[in-house]
Structure 1
Amino acid sequence: MDIVFWLIIAIVFMIGFIGLVYPIIPSVLFILGGILLYGIFYSFEPYNWGFWTIQILLVLLLFGADYVANLAGVKKFGGSKAGIWGSTIGILVGPFLIPFLGIIIGPFLGAVIAEMVVHQKNPVVAAKIGFGSVIGFVGSVVTKSIIQLFMVIYFLFTVL
């Protein structure tokens, strides 16, 4: 049964990492789910208050990193709140409308369309802002993958 339990935990963690590029999947919940599954399958004994404090702080850092990276990417290239909202909608919708490339094209088009419609920005300026949203998204994915990897490594260090 050990192999089956660890395989299930590993699959749940992998789904969490897939959620980094498919934002509709709540990646952080799958990482926490893998941690909780270990407790259910084996024991919650290795998890002390220090473990939970660090994991919760990392979860908060994940949420903050996602927002800050998108905000920084759009703002750095001259975007507004409309561009941020457009980018966010594009991140969520893009992969469904344009499989595979939609995760990059979605935030770009979302920011461009929002800036052109709401603030009547010319297409060149709007495209620059759209590029910033993609940079922010990629930065977010890299940052979140490092944090999630740390969460998993810390979990493994705690239980093994």
Structure 2
Amino acid sequence: MDIILVIVSALCIVIGLIGSFLPIIPGPPLSWIGLLLLHLTKSVQMNVTLLVITGIIALIIFVLDYLIPAMGTKKFGGSKAGMIGTIIGLILGLISPIPGGVILGPFLGAFIGEMLNKNDSKLAFKAAVGSFIGFLASTFIKFMVAIIYFGIYISILWEYKNTLFII
């Protein structure tokens, strides 16, 4: 049973890494589930405090993933309408079948939100660029967290390799 949990946890870690680039897949929370599954094996004595802290971080990053593009919009001079447009665009971009919808959605959402707020196109474009930079920052943060969780996973596997992989 332990080997099955190790395999499934490895899949969660790898899919979590991929999910840090694909907003449809919640990268850090999925990577954390990989750590949790490794903890559930009988062979691994993982620190519960580490598991709780990494879980809280995964939840915070999951929430921030939706807020950071809106914060980027605000930082670049966008209004509340641009921030709301960014969030709506992000959600629509996630469910749209067009390639790059996740990147294009927040950008267009911020732009349209600012235009509906009767701002000029130059300010609306600047706010849309802020939403794109926020998206890139959010992706980078998710990737870094997923890499750290991958490192923790490898470290734990290495520490318990003799008990997990007895042939």
TM-score normalised by the chain length of structure 2: 0.77
Pairing of 1:111-126 with structure 2 (within 5 A) = 111-117=110-116, 119-126=117-124
For structure 1, which runs of at least 5 residues remain unmatched after alignment? none
Query: Identity of counterpart residues, as a percentage?
Result: 35
State whether structure 2 residue 146 is matched by structure 1 residue 152. no
What do the CA deviations read for 1:34-60 (whole angstroms, capped 9, x no partner)? 1122233x2374222332243134325
Structure 1 residues 58-67 or 84-93, which shifts more?
58-67
Residue aligning to 1:33: 33
Kept in 2: contact 1:20–1:144 (CA 8 A): yes
1:83 Cα deviation (Å)? 1.7
Moved more, 13-22 or 74-83: 13-22
Alignment partner of 1:139 out of 137, 149, 157: 137
SS of the aligned residue for 1:10 comes to helix
Deviation digits for residues 108-151 of structure 1 (CA, Å, limit 9, x no counterpart)? 0011111111x211222111111110011001101121122112
Contact kept, 8 Å, 1:23 with 1:92, in 2: the verdict is: no
Name the SS of the counterpart of 1:121 in structure 2: coil
- In the comparison of the two structures, how many residue pairs are matched? 158
- Contact between 2:110 and 2:131, CA under 8 Å: does it hold in 1? yes
TM-score by length of 1: 0.80
Which runs of structure 2 are paired with 1:64-79 in the superposition (5 Å)? Answer: 65-66=64-65, 69-79=68-78
Distance 1:89 1:68 in 2: 11
Distance in 2 (CA, whole Å) between partners of 1:43 and 1:55 is 20
Quick check: 1:84 aligned with 2:86? no
Show the 5 A alignment for 1:1-12: 5-12=5-12
Q: Please identify the structure whose Cα radius of gyration is greater.
A: 2
